[in-house]
Amino acid sequence: MFATLSDRLTSTFKNLRTKGRLSEADIDATVREIRRALLDADVAVPVVRSFTGAVRERALSAEVSGALNPAQQVVKIVNEELVAILGGQTRTLNLAKNPPTVILLAGLQGAGKTTLAGKLALHLKGQGHTPLLVAADLQRPNAVTQLQVVGERAGVPVFAPHPGNQGSEDLLPFGADPVAVAREGLATAKTKLHDVLIVDTAGRLGVDAELMQQASDIRDALDPDEILFVIDAMIGQDAVTTAQAFADGVGFTGVVLSKLDGDARGGAALSVASVTGKPIMYASTGEKLTEFEVFHPDRMASRILD
Ligand code: GDP
C-alpha cells in the first residue's frame, strides 16, 4: 500500500536536492507535483487542497527561505502535514472507568470487521485484558460461526445467540434480534468479569438505512466507550463517502484501516481521518490474526516518505 505515492513523493524531493535556494517558482512546481501524486493515489480532493495549501504557505515562509537545506525543510513540512491529516497523535483505546469497556465495530460487509474483532481481542488479551467477543451480526449466514472460529484462534470466548448450526431458523434464545444479543453479551461480560466487550455487527454491501438503524440501536443499547469504523483500504474513493455516511448515521470514535497489505493506491483511506475528524487507531495488514498494528500517524508518514 502507498508504494506509488511514496515513490512519487520521494522523486519529487530528489529533484529539489540539487537546488541551493528555492524560488517561489520552485516551490510552486514542487507543490504541483505533490498535488498530482496525492490525487493519483486517490486522496480526496478537499484533503489534497488543504494539504497542498498548507505546504505551500509554510514552504514560502521563512521556515524554508532562510534554511541551509531547503529540500530537507520541505520534506519536514510535508512529513508534518501528513502526520496531521493522519490524525496527529497516536490515539489509545478509551478504557471505561467501570469495566467492561464496550467496543462496537461498524462497517460494510467484507470490510474486515469479524477478522478485526479477533485481532483486537488477541491484542488486548496480550495486554492482560480478558475480552469477550459478541456475535451481533445475524444478517450474514455463517457470520456467527466465523466469529466463533476467530475467537477460538485468538483463545477468546465468544458470546453467540446459537452455538453452531447457524443455518437453522431458531437463533434461540434471542430470536434474530441483534440488540438483544448485544445486551445479553454485556450482561454476560459483567457476570463473568470480562473487562472488554467487542461487539461484531452486521454490514451490508452498500450503505443502507436499515443497516444504520440496526447499528444505532445496538449503540443505544450498549452506550459503547468506542465505536470503531472498519474500512477496507482497497475500496478507493468510496472510502470517504462510506466513512461520511457512517459518521452521520451511527457516529464513530475511531477508524480502523483494513487490508493495508493490498497494493491499491490507498489514498482514500489516508483521507478518512481528515474528512471525518476521527483518528485512525489500528491497521489490519493481512488475514492472520497477528497481522495487526496500532496505528501511529508519525510512523506511517515516515514510511510514506522513506
Ligand atoms: P466483515 O464482513 O466486515 O466481517 O469482514 P471479514 O472479517 O469477514 O473479512 C472479509 C474478508 O477479508 C475475509 O476473507 C478476510 O479474511 C479478509 N480480510 C480481513 N482483513 C484483512 C486484511 O487486513 N488483509 C487481507 N488481505 N484480507 C483481510
Per-residue pLDDT tens for 238-284? 888 999 999 999 999 999 999 999 877 778 888 999 999 999 999 99
**Ligand 1 pocket check for 111: Cβ under 6 Å:** yes
Per-residue pLDDT tens for 8-42? 999 998 888 887 778 889 999 999 999 999 999 98
DSSP label of 167: T
Per-residue pLDDT tens for 82-114? 999 998 999 999 999 999 999 999 999 999 999
User: ipTM of the predicted structure?
Assistant: 0.99
113 known member of a binding site? yes
Taking the centre of ligand 1 as the mean of its atom positions, its distance from the CA of residue 153, in whole angstroms, is 15
Give long-range contacts, CB 8 A cutoff, 24+ apart: 10-14: 10/305, 10/306, 12/37, 13/71, 13/74, 13/75, 13/78, 13/305
112 known member of a binding site? yes
- Answer for the pair 96, 225: CB distance below 8 angstroms, yes or no: yes
In this structure, the residue with its CA closest to atom 20 of ligand 1 is 112
Taking the centre of ligand 1 as the mean of its atom positions, its distance from the CA of residue 115, in whole angstroms, is 6
In this structure, the residue with its CA closest to atom 6 of ligand 1 is 112
* Band (66; pLDDT cuts 50, 70, 90): low
Per-residue pLDDT tens for 167-185? 444 444 455 789 999 999 9
Identity of the amino acid at 277: G
- Give the three cell numbers for residue 196: 472488554
201 known member of a binding site? yes
**Ligand 1 pocket check for 297: Cβ under 6 Å:** no
d(CA 111, CA 245): 15
**Residue 171 CB contacts under 8 Å (≥ 6 apart), including other chains:** 138, 161, 162
Q: Is the peptide bond before 173 cis (omega within 30 degrees of 0)?
A: yes
In this structure, the residue with its CA closest to atom 5 of ligand 1 is 112
**Residue 260 CB contacts under 8 Å (≥ 6 apart), including other chains:** 1, 233, 266, 269, 283, 284, 285
110 known member of a binding site? yes
236 known member of a binding site? no
d(CA 155, CA 118): 9
pTM of the model: 0.92
166 has pLDDT over 50: no
Write the DSSP assignment of 234-292 as a string of letters. GGTTHHHHHHHHHHHHT--SEEEEE-TTS-S--HHHHHHHHHH---EEEEE-SSSTT-E
**Ligand 1 pocket check for 73: Cβ under 6 Å:** no
In this structure, the residue with its CA closest to atom 28 of ligand 1 is 287
**In angstroms, how far is CA 279 from the centroid of its own chain?**
8
In this structure, the residue with its CA closest to atom 10 of ligand 1 is 110
Considering only CA atoms, which of 215, 208, 286, 275 is closest in space to residue 243? 275
260 known member of a binding site? yes
Atom from ligand 1 closest to the CA of residue 111: 3
Q: Which of 257, 287, 289 to mutate to test the pocket of ligand 1 (most atoms within 8 A of CB)?
A: 287
- Give the three cell numbers for residue 285: 495488514
Instruction: Give helix 45-60 / helix 70-85 axis angle, nearest 10°.
Output: 150
Considering only CA atoms, which of 96, 126, 125, 156 is closest in space to residue 135? 156
d(CA 294, CA 280): 9
Query: Alpha helices of 162-232 — where are they, by DSSP H?
Result: 178-191, 209-222
- Give the three cell numbers for residue 179: 440488540
Pairing mode, if any, of strands 226-232 and 101-106?
parallel
Per-residue pLDDT, 206? 80
- Answer for the pair 9, 305: CB distance below 8 angstroms, yes or no: yes
**Ligand 1 pocket check for 284: Cβ under 6 Å:** yes
How far CA 44 is from CA of 54, 149, 202, in Å, comes to: 16, 37, 27
What is the average pLDDT value for the chain, to the nearest integer? Answer: 89
Centre a 10 Å sphere on the Cβ of residue 234 and count the other Cβ atoms it contains: 18
